[in-house]
Structure 1
Amino acid sequence: MHRFIVVGGGAGGLELATRLGDRYGEARAKRGKPQAASVTLVDRNPTHIWKPLLHEVAAGSMDPFTHQLEYPAQARWHGFEFQQGELTALDRAAKRITLGRVLDEDGAEMLPERVLEYDTLVLAIGSTTHFFGVPGAAENSIALDTVEQAERFRKRLIAACMRAEHLAPEKIAAEVAADDLSPAMNGGAEPRVQVAIIGAGATGVELSAELRNTAQVLSAYGLHKLDPRHDVGIVLIEAGTRILPALPERVSSATAELLNKLGVRLLTGERVTEVAPGVVRTASGKNLRADLTVWAAGITAPAVLSRLDGLTVNKLGQLIVRRTLQTELDDNIFALGDCAACEWPGHERGVPPRAQAAHQQATFLFKSLGNLLAGKPLEEFTYRDFGSLVSLGHFSAVGNLMGGLIGGNMLIEGLFARFMYMSLYRLHIAALHGYARMVLDTFAHWLRRTTLPRVKLH
């Protein structure tokens, strides 16, 4: 029996394992048909959450524990096996991978180191935050790679707001004096709490808008008595000349206008050179006060990829793959998503690290691996860019649509853009559970939100 192993339970990896399990795995046997393959999903965490939503977790507008999916349950429902553990080694000659030990919260071993054998290996382990060697960035800022990091930021934000309410006036004055931003930039009033977000890509922009809503809700529920607009400052710092540098300029301009209306300070052309406790320093000599600092300035591939047996990587540590998504040196190893460097014909850069790319590659690989089982030749992957959407919380959304749906490139914003953005997550749920269950899941979460505050308060 052919053995598929998918390493990485992100958007692309989980969708692929689910579809393989349904078509070829144990789910096929339950329908009375002979099982064609064994499918194993590997991830270091026991649960899945859609990574583009982590900024909502950080802002408290989404409860991760009601949206997370348990891998063992998904495996049971869709006919594949789940193995928890982190990939530590690869033996291409023996077709084996090694998973590291899994420890509990007290440091006791739950699962030992294990070796799994494969016939076809798919690597989909995503990406991690790139600190670019900036001194103090890793130690004094919070990244948003995991639920734990997002929850840590949310709790620290609530604590900072509650603490600031009772700060002595002279201490506030001292902190404000150390900030090189002009008071005029914030309507003449300096914030008592200031959040610095480094990197104005999609994550940084979306988090800045969500935080403005969070400050208002926390005040409305009495967790602090600060003015949510003037006492809670949000600074978005970008080294490039504009925010959302990877998106069309008109999307960037429309988003900047909306953020300015929300009272978010935009600092472009400011390269961060150091992140120290309570302060962010830039190459132009600015010292920016920061009670909380979020690093959202870039991504890189996990370091383990550069240590795998003979596989080639690019300067970002991504596995270099052919148009078939097979690695350069091994036809039995595929890669998809953020950890893969795939050519995009007609473009200077490769396929971008976006959720829609991972979804398209998972769909493509599902068909390709079926051809592999049937002894048919593999096709080449072609990425289709359908545009990009950026959420500004419940205030709005903005983006551009592309492709055959509209016959060109169209800027959208407002309610329609917000609906399109929300539908992306629902399409991910549909890919994992089917459309009927997706509809029920949507309705269930809507009912739950009617009985809860819009932001987590603890």
Structure 2
Amino acid sequence: MPQASKPPQIVIVGAGTAGLNLATRLSRRLGHAGKAEITLVDENLSHMWKPSLHEFAAGTKGFDEEISLLEHSHRNEYNFRLGRFTGIDREKRLVELQAVNDPSNRPLAPKRALPYDILVLAIGSRSNDFGTPGVAENCMMLDTPAQAKRLQAELLNLFLRFQTGALGTTEKLELTIIGAGATGVELAAELREAAGQFARNGIHKVRRPDAVTIRLIEAAPRVLSALPETISAKVARHLRELHIDV
């Protein structure tokens, strides 16, 4: 008897909102019927909705709202592979993945390559520092769940050091955000809310109105420059009410 043909391998790189939704829908339409094998690849074990990263980073939303990609793939019957995308071998039709280590630098997944018949790149975007000197060494980006967790930890430690006097004679904290698009504006507002939460939960030094300066820097002539001027004006007014320096 002739062997049944192997279903096509559909590989999706990137478990952001687009990649996760696509893997789920393709699995329901094709995978369940045996018409294709769906594989989702990402360097993270969980999905976090990117428009909410500023809330996670500021600590106003808990990380318990993350979606486990292992659990989600099992429940929706597609394959999940942990790996950091590094390139494509188009001749051999392979997706090349770099090894992934845990925070203690122990290997979680080895370097390897995955075969594909159909490849979808849903890797999203990353902040661009435009080669500005000092940015890579001194600034924190907010593109991934790992960066949001790091920023949250850094903020907590900063406020604790301020409270305990570990910052020396520092009388106030200064937090600066570069970029007054949607993420920058929302992060500024969430940081003001976070400062209030710290004040209510034992960080007494930030109870003073001038204890925390939040500064938002934007090259365009107004915040949210991609939106209508009426919206920008309302948002700018609200930022001033929150004592955020634009």
Q: Distance in 1 between matches of 2:173 and 2:26?
A: 49
Root-mean-square deviation (CA, aligned residues, Å) is 1.9
Question: Are residues 119 and 171 of structure 1, via their aligned partners in 2, closer, same or farther at CA, if it must alter by over 3 Å?
Answer: same
Residue 149 of structure 1: aligned partner: 147
> Matches of residues 85-164 of structure 1 in structure 2 within 5 Å?
85-164=83-162
Preserved contact between residue 14 and residue 122 of structure 2 (Cα < 8 Å): yes
Residue 76 of structure 1: aligned partner: 74
Residue 9 of structure 1: aligned partner: 15
Q: Distance in 1 between matches of 2:165 and 2:105?
A: 38
Residue 172 of structure 2: aligned partner: 192
Q: Distance in 2 between matches of 1:165 and 1:120?
A: 55
SS of 1:128's equivalent? coil
Report how far residue 23 of structure 1 moved. 1.3
Letter in structure 1 aligned against 2:13: V
Question: Are residues 214 and 108 of structure 1, via their aligned partners in 2, closer, same or farther at CA, if it must alter by over 3 Å?
Answer: closer
Report how far residue 167 of structure 1 moved. 4.8
Gaps of 5+ in 1: 29-33, 173-190, 267-458
Question: Are residues 57 and 170 of structure 1, via their aligned partners in 2, closer, same or farther at CA, if it must alter by over 3 Å?
Answer: closer
Q: 2:218 aligns with which of 238, 242, 250?
A: 238
Q: Distance in 2 between matches of 1:169 and 1:82?
A: 44
Preserved contact between residue 205 and residue 211 of structure 2 (Cα < 8 Å): no
Residue 209 of structure 2: aligned partner: 229
SS of 2:204's equivalent? coil
SS of 1:4's equivalent? strand
Question: Are residues 17 and 169 of structure 1, via their aligned partners in 2, closer, same or farther at CA, if it must alter by over 3 Å?
Answer: closer
1:265 aligns with 2:237: no
Residue 49 of structure 1: aligned partner: 48
Preserved contact between residue 163 and residue 203 of structure 2 (Cα < 8 Å): no
Deviations 1:99-144 (A, max 9, x none): 1122233323332222211111000011111111111111111111
> Matches of residues 25-424 of structure 1 in structure 2 within 5 Å?
25=31, 28=32, 34-64=33-63, 66-165=64-163, 167=165, 171-172=169-170, 192-227=172-207, 229-266=209-246
TM-score, with normalisation over the residues of structure 2?
0.91
Q: Distance in 1 between matches of 2:105 and 2:174?
A: 36
SS of 1:241's equivalent? coil
Report how far residue 247 of structure 1 moved. 1.4
Gaps of 5+ in 2: 1-6
Q: Distance in 2 between matches of 1:22 and 1:169?
A: 55
Letter in structure 1 aligned against 2:186: E
Report how far residue 168 of structure 1 moved. 9.9
Letter in structure 1 aligned against 2:62: D
Aligned pair count reads 240
Report how far residue 252 of structure 1 moved. 0.7
Letter in structure 2 aligned against 1:63: G
Report how far residue 243 of structure 1 moved. 0.8
Identity of aligned residues (%): 41
| Moved >6 Å (runs of 4+) | none
Report how far residue 40 of structure 1 moved. 0.5
Report how far residue 169 of structure 1 moved. 11
Q: Distance in 2 between matches of 1:247 and 1:256?
A: 12
